[in-house]
Amino acid sequence: MRTQVAIIGAGPAGLLLGQLLHKAGIDTVILERQTPDYVLGRIRAGVLEQVATDLLDEAGVGERMHREGLLHAGFDMLFDGKRHRIDLDKLTGGKKVMIYGQTEVTRDLMDARQAAGLPTVYEAANVQIHDFDTTRPRVTYEKDGQSHSIDCDFMAGCDGFHGVCRASVPRNAIREFEKVYPFGWLGLLSDTPPVHHELIYANSERGFALCSQRSHTRSRYYLQVPLADKVEQWSDDAFWAELKLRLDAEAAEKLVTGPSIEKSIAPLRSFVTEPLRFGRLFLAGDAGHIVPPTGAKGLNLAATDVKYLTNAFIEFYRDKTEAGIDSYSERCLKRIWRAERFSWWFTAIMHNFPDQGAINAKLQHAELDYLMHSEAGLRTIAENYVGLPLDFGG
């Protein structure tokens, strides 16, 4: 088999890249080691920046998002038992975010690819990438007991943090930067109405909490927990009781509880790979970087990686120039590090760090108190939260 771009990974990054390249007349094959149901079973972020929603429209898959997604013009930050609203609309000149779960984004992209009859190989075993440092790269895999090979012009590694693409790069050709946080997020999904029409980020003496949502009838809540905690230790009743203790009195009173649909603990880390290009191999999304979920940047960064990569491939095939592929890594990393900074900072001011002592809580309070009384501080939060423009800073 031969294709122009072999995409490893059928998560939202890989599927979005495939759809955008299809719109541009560029052939792709997507390989995924898991089943479609497994991919759709991953519960992930639900906050989309304008850049991401524009890309989904460009890919022709935005109709359901606009019909069912929730536009949010702000969110609340809670500390000292009092909520403060961050007016995104006012502070950024009309920008908002879209609440639409990553599972739904993936489903829309899957449906579009299937409808177009484009090749996606699920349950591809033993995927290996070869000769990506030459002009004749190829991918091999096994399916139903048979070996297969794909010749291609380029490879896109959209296969996540544990995927084969980054792991195949020689160690002396890559640098990895990582910070692991001393806590995780215990998340609970429930078919209950959200406690508030916008998100609530809570800093409390008992730890961080986040009240999020997927629709008017489905909610997603998170609690900061020690890394040693196991999901089995947390009954639904224990989760709801602890969440109430971390909210203000009004929110705690309004909180509607119910049985969980899904419950899991996710560790928090900051991780960046440099560079993101190795000959004819390009890393995108979680294969190249991870951000703490506090800033809601993971899926949005993946989308902008895909945008830069799509443009680079279009320029290569249409305009016969390699300028875009040569600058891909540098352009992505500039944006990635800005998002890493915001996510690190937002995590640092909203979570408990027991090993840093009582002084850290006092410094957090001073920082939050300043931000809530400074228009410049509020604008800094807002413009980073809605997402910096693709051309920000050149």
Distance in angstroms (rounded) separating the CA atoms of residues 192 and 190 = 5
Residue identified by tokens 């095939």 is 317
- CATH number for the domain including 158? 3.50.50.60
Whether the CB-CB separation of 13 and 158 falls below 8 Å is answered with yes
Q: Which helix (H) or strand (E) holds 114?
A: helix 102-115
DSSP E strands in the chain: the ranges are 5-8, 28-31, 47-48, 70-72, 74-79, 82-87, 97-99, 120-121, 125-130, 138-143, 146-151, 154-157, 175-190, 200-202, 209-213, 219-226, 260-274, 277-278, 281-283, 289-290
Share of the chain above pLDDT 70, in %: 99
The pLDDT tens digits for 21-60 are 999 999 999 999 999 999 988 767 789 999 999 999 999 9
H/E element, 109:
helix 102-115
Whether 43 is covered by a domain: the verdict is: yes
Is a pLDDT exceeding 70 seen at residue 194?
yes
Is residue 381, in this structure, part of any structural domain at all?
Answer: no
Do residues 196 and 223 make contact, with C-beta atoms less than 8 angstroms apart?
A: no
Measured in degrees and rounded to the nearest 5, phi and psi for residue 125 equal -95, 155
Which residues touch 365 (CB under 8 Å, ≥6 apart)?
Answer: 79, 80
Residue 107 covered by a domain: yes
357 pLDDT band, cuts 50/70/90, is confident
The C-alpha atoms of residue 21 and residue 16 are separated, in whole angstroms, by: 9
The reply to whether 246 falls in a domain is no
Q: What's the whole-number average pLDDT of the chain?
A: 95
Active site (catalytic) residues: 72, 201, 293, 297, 385
Tell me whether residue 282 is in a domain: yes
User: Is 359 a domain residue?
Assistant: no
| Position 248 in a domain | no
Average pLDDT over residues 153-176: 96
Report yes or no: 157 and 226 within 8 Å, Cβ to Cβ. no
Tens of pLDDT, residue by residue over 239-272, are 999 999 999 999 999 999 999 999 999 999 999 9
**Peptide bond between residue 275 and the one before it cis (omega within 30 degrees of 0):** yes
Note down the domain range covering 326: 5-70+98-177+270-352
Percent of the chain with pLDDT over 90: 94
Beta-strand relationship, 146-151 and 277-278 = unpaired
Domain count, the chain: 1
Written as six digits, the tokens of 394 are 């050149």
207 in any annotated domain: no
- The rounded radius of gyration (Å) of the Cα atoms in the chain is 21
Q: Kindly state the tokens that stand for 323.
A: 């300028």
| Partners of 86 in beta bridges | 75
> What pTM was estimated for this model as a whole?
0.94
Whole-number pLDDT of residue 393: 57
**Selection from 342, 345, 320 nearest residue 392 by Cα:** 342
pLDDT digits (tens, 9 = 90+) for 67-115: 999 999 999 999 999 999 999 999 999 999 999 989 999 999 999 999 9
Task: Say if residue 394's pLDDT is above 90.
Answer: no
